[in-house]
Structure 1
Amino acid sequence: YSTSGSNINQSIVQIMIDEGIKELTGIGNVGDAWKSVFPGINQSDVISIKINCINSALPSHREVSEPIIEGLAQMDFGGNSYIRNNVIVWDRSDGELTSSGYDIYTGSQQDRYRCFGTNHSGVGYDYGNPLNVNGVTEYPSNIISQYNRFLIDLACLKTHSSATATLCLKNHFGSVHAPGNLPHSNGCDPYIPALNAQIRDVLGDPQKIFIVDGLFGRCGNWGPGGNPDANQQLIVMSTDPVATDYVAQERINDWRTSNGYAPIDAQHIHTAAGPPYNLGTDNPDEMDIRWIIDPSVRVSEYEGDGVAILSVEPNPFRTKTDLRIGLKEATQAQIILYNRLGQRSKKIYDGCLDRGEHRFSVNGQDLRSGIYFLHIRTPKRTLRRKLVISR
Structure 2
Amino acid sequence: MWNPGSTNENCTNAFGDGWFLERNTNSDVVKTMFADAVKSLTGKSTVRDSWDALFRYFNQRHGKGNVGYRDGEKIFIRTNQVSAGSGTYDASTFEIRNQSRYGMAETSPHVVLATLRQLVNECGVRQENISVGDPMKHMYKHVYDLWHNEFPNVVYIDSDARLGRTKPVSTAQPVIYYSDRGRVLKSGGTTGTPITSDYFPTVITEASYLITIPAMKAHARAGVTLAGKLHFGSNLRGSATHLHGGLIAPNKVSDTTTMRRGYGLYRVQVDLMGHKDLGEKSVLFLVDALWSGSEANDPPRKFSMSPFNNDWTSSVIVSQDQVALESVCFDFLKAEFTSTNPFGSYPQVVGADDHLLQAADSSYWPSDVRYDPENDGTPLASLGVFEHWNNPTDRQYSRNLRTGNGIELVFISSAPTGVENTVVDLNRSWKLSQNYPNPFNPITHIRYSLGERNAVSLKIFDLRGREVATLVDETQEKGEHLVAWNARTHPSGIYFCRFAAGTHTETKKIILQK
Q: TM-score, normalised by structure 1?
A: 0.69
- State the secondary structure of the residue aligned to 1:228: coil
The 5 A counterparts of 1:368-387 are none
Deviates more, 1:50-59 or 1:235-244: 50-59
Q: Which has the higher strand share?
A: 1
- Provide the residue aligned with 2:81 in structure 1: 53
Provide the residue aligned with 2:241 in structure 1.
180
Letter in 2 for 1:101: V
Measured in 2, the distance between the counterparts of 1:233 and 1:161 equals 23
Contact 2:136 2:234 in 1 (8 A): no
Match of 1:89 in 2: 132
Counterpart of 1:315 (choices 441, 444, 452) is 441
Inter-partner Cα distance in structure 2 for 1:2 and 1:292: 14
Q: Deviations over 1:266-316 (max 9, x none)?
A: 322222222254211112421121111237x2166499xxxxx94143413
In structure 2, C-alpha distance between the alignment counterparts of 1:100 and 1:155, rounded to whole Å: 19
The equivalent of 2:408 in structure 1 is 288
Equivalent residue, structure 2, for 1:144? 204
Q: Which has the higher contact order (CA 8 A, sep 6+)?
A: 2
Q: Is the 8 A contact 1:83 1:111 kept in 2?
A: no
Task: Give the distance between the partners of 1:10 and 1:106, measured in 2 at CA.
Answer: 15
Q: Partner of 2:285 in structure 1?
A: 210
Q: Within 5 Å, give how 1:132-281 maps onto structure 2.
A: 132-134=177-179, 135=181, 136-146=196-206, 148-178=207-237, 179-187=240-248, 189-199=266-276, 205-219=280-294, 223-230=295-302, 231-257=312-338, 260=341, 264=348, 265-275=352-362, 277=380, 278-281=382-385
1:169 alignment partner, SS class: helix
* Deviation at residue 42 of structure 1 after TM alignment: 1.2
Which stretch shows the higher mean deviation, 265-274 or 120-129?
120-129
Q: How does 1:325-344 map to 2 (within 5 A)?
A: none
Give the secondary structure class of the aligned counterpart of 2:275: helix
Alignment CA distance shift 1:175-1:9 (3 Å):
same
Deviation at 1:29, TM superposition (A): 0.7
Q: How does 1:347-358 map to 2 (within 5 A)?
A: none
Bigger-Rg structure (1/2):
2
Tell me which of 70, 78, 85 is aligned to 1:42.
70
Q: Is the contact between residue 163 and residue 266 of structure 1 (CA under 8 Å) also seen in structure 2?
A: no
Looking at structure 2, the residues matched to 185 and 45 of structure 1 have their Cα atoms a distance apart, in angstroms, of 34
Q: What code does the residue aligned with 1:195 have?
A: L
Identity %: 22
- The alpha-carbon deviation at position 86 of structure 1 amounts to 2.0
- 2:216 aligned counterpart, secondary structure: strand
User: In the aligned structure 1, how far is the partner of 2:438 from the partner of 2:50?
Assistant: 24
Unaligned runs of 5+ in 1: 304-308, 322-387
Q: Is the aligned partner of 1:101 residue 2:143?
A: yes
- Asked if 2 retains the 8 angstrom alpha-carbon contact of 1:85 and 1:110, the reply is no
CA distance in 2, matches of 1:54, 1:155: 10
Distance 1:106-1:15 versus aligned 2 partners, 3 A rule: closer
2 CA distance for matches of 1:225 and 1:204?
A: 23
Find the counterpart in structure 1 of residue 158 from structure 2. 117
CA contact (8 A) 2:273 2:280 kept: no
SS in 2 for 1:8: coil
Question: In the alignment, residue 311 of structure 1 is paired with which amino acid?
Answer: P
In 2, Cα distance between equivalents of 1:28 and 1:175:
34
* Equivalent residues of 2:135, 2:168 under 8 A apart: no
Q: Which runs of 5+ in 2 are unaligned?
A: 12-18, 57-67, 85-103, 182-195, 251-265, 303-311, 363-370, 372-379, 388-396, 399-405, 423-434, 445-511
Q: What's the Cα RMSD here?
A: 3.3
Structure 1 CA distance, aligned partners of 2:279 and 2:6?
36
> Contact 2:360–2:386 at 8 Å: present in 1 too?
yes
Distance in 2, Cα, partners of 1:235 & 1:292: 10
Measured in 2, the distance between the counterparts of 1:267 and 1:256 equals: 18
Q: Which one of 66, 76, 79 corresponds to residue 113 of structure 2?
A: 66
Matching residue of 1:26: 43
Q: Can you list the C-alpha shifts for 1:1-32, whole angstroms capped at 9, x where unaligned?
A: 10112310111000110000000011111112
**Which whole-Å CA distance do the structure 1 matches of 2:315 and 2:440 have between them?**
25
Rounded to whole Å, the distance in 2 between the matches of 1:11 and 1:204 is 29
1:130 aligns with 2:175: yes
Retained in 2: the 8 A contact 1:73–1:82?
Answer: yes
1:236-270 deviations in Å (ceiling 9; x for gaps): 11001111111112222343359646553432222
